[in-house]
Structure 1
Amino acid sequence: MTEILVTTTENIPGQKYEIIGEVFGLTTQSKNVFSNIGAGLKNVVGGEIKAYTSMLHDSREKAIERLRQEAQSKGADAVVMMRFDSGAIGGDMQSVAAYGTAVKFID
């Protein structure tokens, strides 16, 4: 797969482009029972819950990869104005969406 540029900015310096449309990448992750037990104990004493931090990091990476795949399938060269949205589903699942505008470079 050709690397699709993903940026949070509206403009890409030195590039002109036409808009293709919206693209999304979505993933939903859950931690295992042992991680949930560890998180519950950490909740009592306070501090970072590293298993959940890792899960969110991995989820963001998966969402961006899926965003790139969708952009490529639409013939895009880049995605501008990329943003994340996330939310909890139930008590132990996390959904992460990456979204932006797919664009095609023009001369």
Structure 2
Amino acid sequence: MADTLLVVTTEHIPGHEYEVIGEVFGLTTRSKNIVSNVGAAFKNLVGGEIKAYTDMLEESRQQSVERLRDNARQMGADAVVMMRFDSGSIGTDMTTVAAYGTAVKFK
């Protein structure tokens, strides 16, 4: 199997039969520094994309998927199907991102 564990958003992986191992997840919580928060406050006055927060969320998604892969490897999985994201805020300047799915083992 390749070094990178396969993660898909679909229920089926074409050409593979597998058995379900169980639920897997990866989670991260992040906050931006005070400089980014001040910049975001100014941007909020004029509107538009807040690049620092977009970057933070992209990094969070990538890290949560890597943690999901690590969790699946520990369970002996060959892949993860039905991967989804969930996110939320903690307080005013922290964001949490979870990647979750179903770990499977190829037959």
Per the normalisation by structure 1, the TM-score is 0.98
Write the deviation string for residues 49-71 of structure 1: whole angstroms up to 9, x where unpaired: 00000000000000000000000
Could you say which residue in structure 2 is the equivalent of 1:52?
Answer: 53
Could you say which residue in structure 2 is the equivalent of 1:71?
Answer: 72
1:58 is paired with a residue of what secondary structure?
A: helix
Could you say which residue in structure 1 is the equivalent of 2:89?
Answer: 88
Q: Which amino acid aligns with 2:74?
A: S
Per the normalisation by structure 2, the TM-score is 0.98
Once superposed, what is the RMSD of the aligned Cα atoms?
A: 0.9
Q: Which amino acid aligns with 2:14?
A: P
CA distance in 2, matches of 1:100, 1:20: 11
1:69 is paired with a residue of what secondary structure?
A: helix
Paired residues, what number?
Answer: 106
Which consecutive residues of structure 2, in runs of 5 or more, have no partner in the other structure?
none
Write the deviation string for residues 28-87 of structure 1: whole angstroms up to 9, x where unpaired: 000000000000000000000000000000000000000000000000000000000000
Which consecutive residues of structure 1, in runs of 5 or more, have no partner in the other structure?
none
Quote the offset at 1:2 in angstroms.
Answer: 2.9
Q: Which aligned segments of 4 or more residues in structure 1 are displaced greater than 6 angstroms?
A: none
CA distance in 2, matches of 1:88, 1:56: 11
Could you say which residue in structure 1 is the equivalent of 2:21?
Answer: 20
Identity of aligned residues (%): 69
Could you say which residue in structure 2 is the equivalent of 1:9?
Answer: 10
1:72 is paired with a residue of what secondary structure?
A: helix
CA distance in 2, matches of 1:32, 1:50: 14
Quote the offset at 1:3 in angstroms.
Answer: 1.4
